[in-house]
Structure 1
Amino acid sequence: MPFLSAADEAVTLYLGAPDTELDEANPENRFGPAWLDAVAGLLDEVAAEPTKPLIITATGKFFTNGLDTDYVFSHSDELPAYLDRVHALYTSVLTLPVPTIAAINGHAFGAGAMLALCADHRIMRADRGYWSLPEAALNMPFTRGMSALLRTRLPDATVTEAMLTSRRYGGNDAVSHGIVEESADVEALPTRAREVAVARASLIGPNIALIKKRLRRPLLEDLAAPTPASLL
């Protein structure tokens, strides 16, 4: 399950299990109910004691592969409530009272790709892994909140291509298309994330949270809108 690791420079939220490259129970770090519970609790801990920037990352092949499709298909009647929980996760990251940095170590797909966009600053592994929105290829719609997140956080040409074609972007492509701010070799990824964290550490406090909420108010309103049962 996800966990926090604190160092002098920052707190790191790992999306997988401790002491292992891959969580055997959830090797793709998908958004299962228990995973969502764990991450929400950890973000609450960060918000309650905002003393250091937050780095969000994982280990292995995946940053996160997004929605738990097995759960979705077997609990279709619970889909609106499940998606509302995903929206709440995005809102938590978007409004944290600390600088947030996503260190994207591997594949970030669908809802996981959107999670990366919630961070204030994004660094993606250059040599391996893709950022992609596969929903069009999978005949899946985007929710109102997800569409607003993508429209707000990406350039228009990029969001149009990404949502309508399900293109996969490698690290350097993600930089040139405005999906992430920079790319780095996998060995340098943690170091670069910590450097950004140190540079922004002085901004921590209630003022940064207020700025984020006002900056992102229309997006937060869209994310707070209940998912209708008619979505699918």
Structure 2
Amino acid sequence: MPFLRSAGAVTELYLGTEGVELDESNPENRFGPGWIASVDELLDQVAAEPLTPLVITATGKFFTNGLDTDHIATSPKGLPAYLDSVHALYRKVLTLPVPTVAAINGHAFGAGAMFALCADHRIMRTGRGFWSLPEAALGMPFPLGMSSLIRTRLDDAVATEAMLTARRYTAEEALEKRIVEEIVDVDSLLERARAVAAERAPLAGPNLAEIKRNLRQPLIADLDIAYPRTVL
């Protein structure tokens, strides 16, 4: 399950299981209910003591491969509540009282790609891994909250292309499209993410959370709207 690690002046949230690159129970760091609950609890710990900035990363092939499609298939009636929990996780990252940096170590697809967008600053490794929103190719809609997140965090032309074509962006393409702010080789990924986070450390605290809430208020309002229970 996900875990926190202290790295000097920075806290790191790893989206996979400690010591295991490909966890047999969740090898792609998908948004299973237990995984969501674990990340949510860890973010609460970060918010409770807003002293150090947060780097969000993982190990191995995946940053996160998005929604747990097996869970959705076995619990279709629970889809609205499940999506609400995903939206709540986005909201929590978007309003943390500490600076946040996503260090995208591998594939970030669907809900996982959107999770990366919730960070204040994004750095993606070169050489391996795509950022992609495959929902159109999979016949899946974008709920209002997710659509608003993408529209808010990306340029309109990029959001339109990403949502309607399911294009897979390499690190170089993601930088060109301003999906991420920086790209580095994998050996420099965490070092650079820690440096960016540490530079912003003096800003951590309740005031930063208030600024984020006001800055992102329309988006947060959309994320707070419950997914329609009648959609099924």
TM-score, scaled to structure 1: 0.99
Q: Which residue of 2 aligns with 1:214?
A: 214
Could you tell me how far apart the structure 2 residues matched to 1:205 and 1:39 are?
Answer: 20
Q: Is residue 140 of structure 1 aligned with residue 136 of structure 2? A: no
Q: Which residue of 1 aligns with 2:168?
A: 168
Aligned 1:44-193 pairs, distance under 5 A: 44-193=44-193
Percent identity of equivalent pairs: 66
Could you tell me how far apart the structure 2 residues matched to 1:123 and 1:230 are?
Answer: 39
**Matched positions, count:** 232
Could you tell me how far apart the structure 2 residues matched to 1:181 and 1:230 are?
Answer: 39
| Matched-pair contact (CA < 8 Å) for 1:109–1:130 | yes
Cα offset for 1:21? 1.5
| Matched-pair contact (CA < 8 Å) for 1:143–1:231 | no
Q: Which residue of 2 aligns with 1:13?
A: 13
Cα offset for 1:9? 2.1
Amino acid at match of 2:206: P
> Structure 1: 5+ residue runs without aligned partners?
none
Partner deviation per Cα, 1:76-106 (whole Å, 9 max, x = no partner): 1000000000000000000000000000000
Could you tell me how far apart the structure 1 residues matched to 2:177 and 2:37 are?
Answer: 33
Secondary structure in structure 2 of the residue aligned to 1:19: coil
Could you tell me how far apart the structure 2 residues matched to 1:224 and 1:231 are?
Answer: 17
Partner deviation per Cα, 1:168-211 (whole Å, 9 max, x = no partner): 00111001001000101000000000110111011011111000
> Structure 2: 5+ residue runs without aligned partners?
none
Secondary structure in structure 1 of the residue aligned to 2:187: coil
Could you tell me how far apart the structure 1 residues matched to 2:108 and 2:172 are?
Answer: 14
Amino acid at match of 1:39: V
Measured on the aligned residues, the alpha-carbon RMSD in Å equals 0.7
Report runs of 4+ in structure 1 exceeding 2 Å deviation: 229-232
| Matched-pair contact (CA < 8 Å) for 1:130–1:169 | yes
